[in-house]
A = this chain, B = another copy of it.
């Protein structure tokens, strides 16, 4: 496991444990959290911690993939919330000290496939 992979694995482990002290220790003071789908941005460790602490509870996550090298990493997690299951993909930038200074996160939702490719695909 690379250092970047260890950092993002610890990030999700702390998140699942609701261990916000451990979670906060992985973040740079000026961390920025980007949600491109809603065009929302949260700036700074204190606000980002509060966002996570205030987020309605009842969810559990597991990490499907964590890959990282140098100052970049990406994860694919699976999140279960009230019997609904949703995947999220996240891209992380680390600073020189190995702290997380940027997270860009996507929450893709299910949709119906467009017609015209039934001859190539299986549904599962």
A-side residues, CB < 8 A to B, are 2, 4-5, 35-43, 47, 50-51, 54, 64-65, 67-69, 72-74, 76, 87, 89, 91, 104, 106-113, 116-117, 120-124
Docked CA distance A48–B110 (Å): 21
Oligomeric state, in number of copies?
2
With beta carbons under 8 angstroms apart, the residue of B65, B110, B120 that contacts A37 is B110
- Given A47-B120, A65-B72, A69-B2 in contact, is the A38-B113 Cβ separation under 8 Å? yes
Question: Contact: B37 with A108, CB < 8 Å?
Answer: yes
Q: Which of B37, B42, B122 contacts A111 (CB 8 A)?
A: B37
Residues of B within 8 A of A54 (CB): 116-117, 120
A108 CB to nearest chain B CB (Å): 4
Max count, chain B CB within 10 A of own CB: residue among A40, A64, A89, A106: A89
Q: Which residues of B contact A113 (CB under 8 A)?
A: 35, 38, 40
State whether A38 and B104 are in contact (beta carbons under 8 Å apart), knowing that A65-B91, A67-B67, A69-B5 are contacts in the complex. no
CB-defined contacts of A4 to chain B, threshold 8 Å: 67
Does A67 contact B68, Cβ atoms closer than 8 Å?
Answer: yes
Q: Closest B-chain residue to A116, C-beta based?
A: B54
